[in-house]
């Protein structure tokens, strides 16, 4: 029964975009801790882009999904922290890596991207204001990282991804979204083909859209609360 939730979320995104006079953002369905059957159900309802936090969990789910008949072609995004020793698997299993946050990953992902596949789409994850998080590059490191990515033919720099600090009052997250938008504009000054600003989740996607998100990552509002545990490697 996920189709009504998908419809409702799409409606919410469209309304937020309309209110902000912006194009409707892409919807990434965050499938962490959800079974393959739930992914298949959303796919049948028309959703194509899915996000996973763990490389192993994505691999297991993709294997299960491959046994289903009539599954449409899906687009997989890694949205969880990428350990260097998982770069090889990530370069094979995903169409997008949204969490590239250090130069060490650039060559590893490029080297392991299969030659018969399109270049791997990547977003630079920027630590926009959450000092408690170890993940994401410093805003000042974005430019050098972008240059390193742009120099790799097997990678395609598509933009930025941010996760603001989880202030309880979601209005308090707005300044971080606005800063991310400014950084994204700076990135586009040097890399005009960068077209994706990934920010906003179930509870704060309307604010993220108002501040310029072109992609929102939504889990709970689509699938309901996560009851299972995500796979920890």
Neighbours of 169 (CB within 10 A): 7
Contact between 125 and ligand PLP per CB under 6 A: no
Contact between 137 and ligand PLP per CB under 6 A: no
Contact between 12 and ligand PLP per CB under 6 A: no
Q: Phi, psi (5° rounding) for residue 175? A: -60, -35
Q: Where are the beta strands (DSSP E) in 53-165?
A: 75-78, 96-100, 120-126, 155-162
Taking the C-alpha atoms of residue 93 and residue 78, their distance in angstroms, rounded to an integer, is 9
Query: Which 3 state secondary structure label does DSSP give 230?
Result: coil
Segment contacting ligand PLP by CB under 6 A, of 57-65, 101-109, 133-141, 219-227: 219-227
The mark string for 51-90 relative to ligand PLP (x by CB under 6 A, - otherwise) is: --x-------------------------x-----------
Nearer to ligand PLP, 152 or 204 (CB): 204
Contact between 201 and ligand PLP per CB under 6 A: yes
Taking the C-alpha atoms of residue 176 and residue 92, their distance in angstroms, rounded to an integer, is 32
Would you tell me which residues interact with ligand PLP (CB under 6 A)?
30, 32, 53, 79, 163, 201-202, 217-221
């Amino acid at each position: 029964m996920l189709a009504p939730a998908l419809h409702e979320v799409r409606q919410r995104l469209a309304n937020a975009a309309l209110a902000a006079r912006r194009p409707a953002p892409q919807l990434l369905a965050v499938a962490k801790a959800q079974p393959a059957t739930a992914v298949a159900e959303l796919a049948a309802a028309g959703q194509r882009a899915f996000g996973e936090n763990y490389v192993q969990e994505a691999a297991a789910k993709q294997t299960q999904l491959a046994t289903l008949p009539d599954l449409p072609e899906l687009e997989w995004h890694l949205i969880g922290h990428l350990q260097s020793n998982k770069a090889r698997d990530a370069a094979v299993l995903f169409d997008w890596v949204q969490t590239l946050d250090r130069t060490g990953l650039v060559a590893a992902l490029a080297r392991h991207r299969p030659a018969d596949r399109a270049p791997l789409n990547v977003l630079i994850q920027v630590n926009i204001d959450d000092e408690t998080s170890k993940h994401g590059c410093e805003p000042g490191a974005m430019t050098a990282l972008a240059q390193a990515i742009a120099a790799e033919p097997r990678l395609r720099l598509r933009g930025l991804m941010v996760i603001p600090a989880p202030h309880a009052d979601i209005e308090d997250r707005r300044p971080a979204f606005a800063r991310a938008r400014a950084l994204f504009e700076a990135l586009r000054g040097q890399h005009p083909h960068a077209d994706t600003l990934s920010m906003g989740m179930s509870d704060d996607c309307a604010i993220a859209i108002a501040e310029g998100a072109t992609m929102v990552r939504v889990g709970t509002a689509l699938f309901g609360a996560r009851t299972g545990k995500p796979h920890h490697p």
